[in-house]
A and B are shown apart, each in its own frame.
Chain A
Amino acid sequence: MTMLPGIQRVREFEWQVPVGYVPGMRVPGVFFLSETLAGTLEEGAVQQLANVATMPGIVARSLAMPDIHWGYGFPSGGVAAFSLDEGVISPGGVGFDINCGVRLLATPLREEDLVKKRELVERLFKAVPTGVGGKSTLRLSGHELDRMLLEGSSWAVGAGFGIDEDVRMCEQQGCMKEAETAAVSQKARQRGMPQSGTLGSGNHFLEIQVVKEVYQPEVARAFGISAGQVCIMIHCGSRGLGHQVCTDHLRTLEAATRKYGITLPDRQLACAPIDSPEGKAYFGAMAASANYAWANRQVIMHYTRKVMEELYGVPYKEMRLVYDVAHNVAKIEEHVVGGTTMKVCVHRKGATRAFGPGAPDLPPAYAGVGQPVLIPGSMGTSSFLLHGTQGAMEKTFGSTCHGAGRVMSRTQAKKRLTGKEIRDALGQEGIIVRAPSDAAIADEAPEVYKPSMEVVRVVHEVGISRLVARLEPLGVIKG
């Protein structure tokens, strides 16, 4: 097998990037990867993992999950925790798409009940605005946008886009209380207003899935999932609002980096002490964006339920939200570091929270098994349901992977297959794909991603989350 030079193997799936790999590292870097995935590791991604280790106040180690790939600032798949006293907060550790995340809706339908599948896909495509330039049918006032930014999922449910139970089934009850609307610029609001309730583009999707395999029946039962069941997965984020918040605060934090005398190897890692005015402003705006994203997914789920209700007569309340996870976010959490419990600011960029049994912030029904972890597959491939573990609390600040991770550039992908060819091939497997354009399909061909089964196998073997079920796509609405 091939591994990049300078990296040490610690355990079967655990690799260490020693202090000194890049100048100024305060802690080592650690990532999890199987031999099969080792060939996909990019030097740029390891460099970024090591860059994160140079940031002030980083605690224990700079981490990356097996879906690690070359990003900007942090690598995608990166996790780092910072002490509240000496540490920093950085938009480079969250990304442009703040609270990009996933939710899973369980329906009482079985695969065989899903007649009129093409009509279902078409109706969902019409109901949920998608793609570049896709505009919302909501007409939000400035006051309503403020409430969306402050209350997240609860705002959406209060506005008629769901039921109370939905709120309890979101990470952090779909709301970060630290949200500060004053830190969200007028520009961000202008971008966010017309995009609430839209899916967006790129790797975002809405997928009709069937539970194909159950690995842990008892945990699946706790999550309300069984083999043959039809589910719907929604993957999107905070749209232009979050993107603008990242852009705006990157600028102010760049100035702050100099002001506080912080030296960084990459400008995208611009940061400020967590309790500085600049750090607090970013945190408040990021939290508001996270709330926007939760409300956004809630509205999209509402549209989905309405279509299912109309087409199959399934009562709205019998379609249950299994869970909603964020995979681009920074949060204040309590973790045990070197035997001491301390509050830290955990950055997860392309990584999912994976809190184990008994951890705080779990719905009572899941307290005994740990939180559901939702890992979306690439278009046309399996997605996975896992649960959080004590191992994640011990090894990764309660974190695991977020997806498959790309291995092929979009330029390469487009040379291989056209969107139509991919759509036809998936159609032959019984998977209906609907997108605003064939170009959007070509961009996200299944082969441009790491095999997602191998990525989740690694997190399962390492014990930072455990497999519960595998879901296969039946229909895909692409952004």
Chain B
Amino acid sequence: MSFEELEHTADARVRVRAGTLEGLFSEAGRALMQVMYGRPGRDGLSRSVFVQGDDLESLMHAFLSEILFITEVDGLVISGAEVRVGEGIVEGVVRGEPFSRDIHNAGRGVKGISYSGLSIVRDKESYILDVIFDV
């Protein structure tokens, strides 16, 4: 599993790869934390997560929007997720650590997850997500 930041003039464009669909969701959550805080969180706390969507892209959009909500409102910096991707749903648990201004201060605020440029494709080895975060 991995993620990298691609070129984008105004916003943060990220490419995420994972061998499984479940892994793709987890790694996408970590990528969002990397952009927001300069690094993903560490394990410690956990919280349940449940989102719905019409297709894979909508599910990813809903999942990342939910992570954004959790990190802002609950102050949880996500380290990863164990989720099940079912028909129209993603459910499971996200793990992480409490937000601290002293540690999580090397990133930039993300306002929202854009549908523009959101794609999920599959090659021989992995699932690949491209997504733009509005910063």
List CB contacts (< 8 Å) of B33-85 with chain A: 36-38, 54, 57-58, 62, 65, 68-69, 72-73, 75
Say whether A466 faces chain B, with CB atoms less than 8 Å apart. Answer: no
Shortest Cβ distance from residue A296 to the other chain B in the assembled complex, whole angstroms? 14
Q: Contact between B99 and A133 (Cβ–Cβ < 8 Å)?
A: yes
A103 at the B interface (CB under 8 A): no
**B57 partner residues in chain A, CB cutoff 8 A:** 267
A276 interfacial by beta-carbon distance below 8 Å: no
B118 lies within 8 A of A267 (CB): yes
| CB of A300 to closest CB in B, whole Å | 16
A83 within 8 A of B: no
Please give, as numbers and ranges, the residues of chain A lying within 8 Å of B62 by CB-CB distance: 251
Q: Which of B82-135 contact A (CB under 8 A)?
A: 99, 101, 104-109, 111-118, 132, 134-135
How far is A202 from B109 in the complex, measured between Cα atoms in Å?
6
Distance in Å: Cβ of A146 to nearest Cβ of chain B: 19
Q: A412 in the interface, Cβ–Cβ < 8 Å?
A: yes
Interface residues in A120-163 (C-beta closer than 8 Å to B): 131-133
List, in ascending order, chain A residues with CB within 8 A of B107's CB: 132, 439
Q: Whole-angstrom distance between the alpha carbons of A246 and B116 in the complex?
A: 14
Are B112 and A243 touching (Cβ within 8 A)? yes
Please state if A132 and B105 are interface contacts (CB–CB under 8 Å): yes
In contact, B106 and A266 (Cβ under 8 angstroms): no
Count A-side interface residues using an 8 Å CB cutoff: 47
Contacts of A436 in B (CB 8 A): 101, 105
Among A3-11, A65-73, A164-172, A227-235, the stretch that binds chain B is A65-73
Residue of A nearest to B107 (CB): A132
A187 within 8 A of B: yes
Q: Given contacts A95-B134, A96-B111, A96-B134, is CB(A409)–CB(B73) below 8 Å?
A: no
Q: Which residues of A contact B72 (CB under 8 A)?
A: 191, 240
**What residues on A are CB-neighbors of B111 within 8 Å?**
95-97, 202, 243, 246
Chain B proximity mask over A86-106: 1 for CB below 8 Å, otherwise 0: 000000100111000000000
Contacts of A54 in B (CB 8 A): none
CA distance A96 to B61 in the complex (A): 14
Closest to A251 in B: B62
Contact partner, B9, options A69, A132, A243, Cβ 8 Å: A69
CA–CA, A244 to B107, complex, Å? 20
Instruction: Please indicate the chain A residues that have their CB under 8 angstroms from the CB of B73 in the complex.
Output: 187, 190-191, 240
A72–B9 alpha-carbon span in the complex (Å): 12
Q: Does A247 contact B (CB under 8 A)?
A: yes
Give CA–CA (A412, B114) in the complex, Å.
21
Name the residue of chain A whose CB is nearest to the CB of B106.
A439
> Nearest Cβ in chain B — how far from A360, in angstroms?
31
CB closest chain-A residue, reference B8: A409
Contact of B109 among A72, A132, A408 (CB under 8 A): A132
Q: CA–CA, A412 to B112, complex, Å?
A: 22
- Judge if B22 is at the interface, Cβ distance under 8 Å: no
Q: How far is the CB of A455 from chain B (nearest CB, A)?
A: 15
Report B12 CB to chain A, min CB distance, Å: 7
Q: How far is the CA of A133 from the CA of B98 in the complex (A)?
A: 11
B117 touching A443, Cβ below 8 Å: no
- Given known pairs A132-B37, A132-B107, the reply for A247 and B113 (CB within 8 Å) is yes
**From A72, A247, A407, contact of B65 by CB (8 A):** A247
What residues of chain A lie closer than 8 Å to B54, measured between beta carbons?
Answer: 254-255
Contact A268 B116 (CB under 8 A): yes
CB–CB A267/B7 < 8 A: no
- Tell me if B9 and A254 are in contact (CB < 8 A): no
Q: What's the Cα separation between A92 and B36 when bound, in Å?
A: 22
CB closest chain-B residue, reference A200: B109
By beta carbon, the residue of chain A nearest B13 is: A409
CA distance A131 to B99 in the complex (A): 13
Q: Which chain B positions have C-beta within 8 A of A61?
A: none
Q: Are B115 and A266 in contact (CB under 8 A)?
A: yes
On chain A, the residues within 8 Å of B68 by CB distance are 243, 247
Distance between Cα atoms of A412 and B95 in the complex (Å)? 31
| A247 engages B112 (CB within 8 Å) | yes
Are B116 and A72 in contact, CB atoms less than 8 angstroms apart? yes
Asked whether, in the complex, the Cβ of A131 is within 8 Å of the Cβ of B105, the reply is yes
Name the distance in Å between A254's Cβ and chain B's nearest Cβ. Answer: 7
Q: Are B104 and A267 in contact (CB under 8 A)?
A: no
B7–A411 contact, CB under 8 A? yes
18 sampled A-B residue pairs with Cβ under 8 A = A48-B116, A70-B10, A72-B132, A95-B111, A96-B112, A131-B101, A131-B105, A131-B109, A132-B36, A246-B112, A254-B58, A255-B54, A408-B9, A410-B108, A410-B135, A437-B105, A437-B106, A479-B109
With A96-B111, A201-B109 known, 7 other A-B pairs at CB within 8 A are A132-B104, A191-B73, A243-B112, A255-B54, A406-B9, A407-B9, A409-B9
Ranked 4 nearest A-B pairs via Cβ: A201-B109, A72-B116, A96-B112, A72-B114
* A residues apposed to B, CB below 8 Å: 42, 48, 69-73, 76, 92, 95-97, 131-133, 187, 190-191, 200-202, 240, 243-244, 246-247, 250-251, 254-255, 266-268, 270, 406-412, 436-437, 439-440, 443, 479
